[in-house]
Amino acid sequence: MIQLHDLQFEPFISEAEIEEAIAKVASQLNADYKDENPVFLGVLNGAFMFASDVIKRFEGDCEVSFVKLGSYEGTSTTGAVKTLLGLNQQLKERRVIIIEDIVDTGNTLEEINKILKKEGVADYQVATLFFKPEAYKKEFNIKYAGLEIPNKFIVGYGLDYDGLGRNLTKVYKRKE
């Protein structure tokens, strides 16, 4: 059990399970993007650990960029996604792989979709470490999902609760 701010969290996903999920996603990306030069677009802050680990396992040439979007306050989404740090790279006619820590409602993906359409990308796919199918409300294809999980609030491995917990190597769920 751990305490972050006013909430308690209990162990949920082990380091070994996370490693296995990363290896699965990286293997799929290596097969699908062999002999290509995709742009990995990491979504900050949460995806920094997953992006690093997946990109280290990518066997071909690639480029890396980041955007920072925010929609959470405390343990729930506000529903409004704000761009906090925009693109600094030309993506016209490029193949892009969006690297997300977690896909729940899909609101962040909707905002990224608008950005990428405006940029004129050739195509894009979504790679996420965690996917919450129960919470997902959008139509975007989630091609690469490390782990499908129930709609619980989690922290660790890049995910936080009001700034705390991103550095944890395991994932914890909120104690109910």
pLDDT in tens, the chain (176 residues): 999 999 999 999 999 999 999 999 999 999 999 999 999 999 998 999 999 999 999 999 999 999 887 655 555 555 565 554 556 678 999 999 999 999 999 988 998 998 899 899 999 999 999 999 999 999 999 999 999 999 999 999 999 999 999 999 999 999 98
In a domain, 2, yes or no: no
CATH number for the domain spanning 27: value is 3.40.50.2020
Whether residue 82 lies inside any domain: the answer is: yes
Residues recognised as catalytic: 104
72: in domain: yes
Please give the pLDDT value at position 71.
59
- pLDDT computed for residue 164 by the predictor: 97
Q: Which domain holds residue 64?
A: 14-170
What stretches of 33-145 show up as alpha helix (H) in DSSP? 48-57, 107-119
26, burial (CB in 10 Å: exposed 0-12, middle 13-18, buried 19+)? buried
- CA dist 69 and 46 (Å) reads 10
Q: Is residue 8 part of a domain?
A: no
In a domain, 5, yes or no: no
